[in-house]
């Protein structure tokens, strides 16, 4: 990992980007089950290029009283009660992800983490709802700031669908593997890195002119308690 006050800390004004994808049993984050979650941590190499670091992945047990929408389960192909899933309680999944994110955030010299996702409002909504259900006290994630690769891809490669955006960026994408949180997270991470690095190569991020900005730590009141 890079050292504190690194280029990564400077790149997003003290925010540490974490790529997230979820698979769920519906569209309502408050009532529908979170069934799968993956998080890809990022780093920056010596040349200032953003790179994937590692991915955490969990199958998740439906929380007590969760709604399970049949059409959503048919779409993602998940059987929530299949013992072969190796599903864990929400608390274990969220705790392990937040623990890893806090460490990576600290190693990078950042003050707060921010979710990167394709259609970010959806994934952020389900993560925030799980954190609220668990009364989780030490979330590293900003409560509402996110980086949406749907919008970024529309700007960078003229595509909004993840598979098409990856293809336009020269990233291999297997549609048979899609709608797995693990697969989609890793492809989204590749896409995000491609966009950020392409912008740098075009001269859109003049690192020599950027000074460290500690202001990301000034909005702690916006964090999830």
Q: Helix, strand, coil: what percent of the chain each, to 5?
A: 45, 20, 35
Contact of 51 with 58, CB cutoff 8 Å: no
Contact of 186 with 192, CB cutoff 8 Å: no
Q: Is 76 exposed, middle or buried (0-12, 13-18, 19+ CB in 10 A)?
A: middle
Beta partners for residue 50, in sequence order? 44
Catalytic residue ranges: 179
Q: Is the pLDDT of residue 88 over 90?
A: yes
Tens digits of residue pLDDT in 27-75: 999 999 999 999 999 999 999 999 999 999 999 999 999 999 999 999 9
Tens digits of residue pLDDT in 120-178: 999 999 999 999 999 998 899 999 999 999 999 999 999 999 999 999 999 999 998 88
Contact of 38 with 55, CB cutoff 8 Å: yes
pTM to 2 decimal places: 0.89
**Of 169, 53, 73, which is closest to residue 118 (Cα–Cα)?**
169
Query: How would residue 207 be classed by pLDDT, with cut points 50, 70 and 90?
Result: low
Mean pLDDT across the stretch 106-124?
97
Mean pLDDT of the chain, nearest integer: 91
């Amino acid at each position: 990992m890079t050292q504190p006050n690194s280029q990564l800390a400077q790149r997003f004004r003290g925010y540490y980007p974490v790529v997230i994808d979820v698979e769920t049993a519906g569209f309502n984050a408050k009532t529908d089950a979170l069934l799968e979650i993956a998080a890809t941590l990022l780093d920056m190499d010596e040349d200032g290029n953003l790179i994937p670091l590692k991915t955490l992945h969990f199958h998740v047990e439906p929380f007590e009283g969760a709604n399970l929408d049949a059409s959503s389960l048919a779409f993602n192909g998940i059987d929530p009660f299949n013992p072969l899933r190796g599903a864990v309680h929400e608390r274990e999944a969220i705790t392990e992800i937040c623990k890893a994110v806090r460490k990576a955030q600290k190693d990078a010299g950042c003050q707060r983490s921010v979710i990167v996702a394709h259609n970010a409002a959806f994934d952020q909504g389900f993560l925030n709802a799980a954190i609220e259900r668990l009364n989780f006290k030490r979330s590293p994630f900003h409560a509402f700031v996110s980086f949406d690769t749907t919008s970024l891809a529309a700007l960078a490669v003229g595509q909004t669908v993840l598979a098409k955006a990856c293809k336009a960026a020269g990233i291999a994408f297997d549609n048979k593997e899609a709608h797995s949180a693990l697969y989609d997270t890793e492809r989204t991470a590749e896409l995000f890195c491609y966009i950020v690095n392409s912008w740098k190569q075009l001269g859109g991020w003049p690192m020599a002119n950027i000074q460290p900005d500690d202001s990301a730590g000034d909005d702690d009141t916006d964090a999830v308690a």
